[in-house]
């Protein structure tokens, strides 16, 4: 069962390992990205960062539904790098109705939408498309802090 879908450009790191996995009793993490699975160094680093006792899949976005179907009894967290990847993921996994936005790196031309979320025009368009699909997108760094209220249409 999907417990959390999180956008975070850092993917698997301390906040994810210590806060979110405990909050949702996660025993299976899926890193979904179209480039990371082909990068041996990234795969190795993510594998090392994985919490003990938690399964990890590092796969392309179009493979997520298959892994979900094979692991129905797991408490799953899906990690994706950005809004565009999240939008693509919802095409393959339409049952996603909520996405935690944890961090999107500042790039040239991006605008700040919260403490750690910076969106360029393409990313903002993807966020709006997610919202238009009635997907609840909320900014929250860790479970112990309040959700940030952000208007992605202004």
pLDDT for 49 equals 92
* Domain range 2-139, CATH architecture: 3-Layer(aba) Sandwich (3.40)
| pLDDT at position 59 | 98
For residue 3, count other CB atoms closer than 10 A to its CB: 17
Question: Could you state, in order of their start, the residue ranges of all structural domains in the chain?
Answer: 2-139
pLDDT for the residue numbered 115:
85
Question: Which portions of the chain are predicted below pLDDT 50?
Answer: none
Let me know how many helices (H) and strands (E) the chain has, helices first. Answer: 6, 8
pLDDT at 17: 81
Task: Write the CB contacts of 21 (distance below 8 Å, at least 6 apart in sequence).
Answer: 29, 51, 54, 77
CA separation for the pair 28, 146 (Å, rounded): 25
pLDDT at res. 153: 86
**Cα separation, 10 vs 80, whole angstroms:** 9
Whole-prediction pTM: 0.95
State residue 94's pLDDT score: 97
């Amino acid at each position: 069962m999907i417990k959390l879908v999180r956008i975070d450009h850092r993917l698997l790191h301390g906040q994810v390992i210590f806060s979110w996995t405990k909050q949702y009793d996660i025993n299976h993490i899926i890193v979904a990205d179209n480039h990371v699975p082909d990068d041996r160094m990234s795969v190795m680093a993510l594998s090392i960062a994985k919490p003990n006792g938690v399964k990890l899949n590092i796969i392309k976005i179009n493979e997520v539904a298959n892994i979900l179907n094979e692991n129905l009894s797991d408490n799953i967290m899906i990690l994706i790098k950005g809004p565009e990847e999240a939008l693509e993921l919802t095409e393959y996994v339409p049952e996603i109705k909520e996405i935690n936005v944890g961090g999107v790196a500042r790039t040239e031309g991006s605008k700040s939408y919260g403490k750690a979320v910076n969106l360029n025009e393409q990313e903002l368009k993807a966020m709006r498309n997610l919202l238009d699909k009635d997907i609840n997108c909320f900014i929250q760094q860790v479970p112990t802090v309040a959700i940030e209220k952000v208007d992605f249409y202004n």
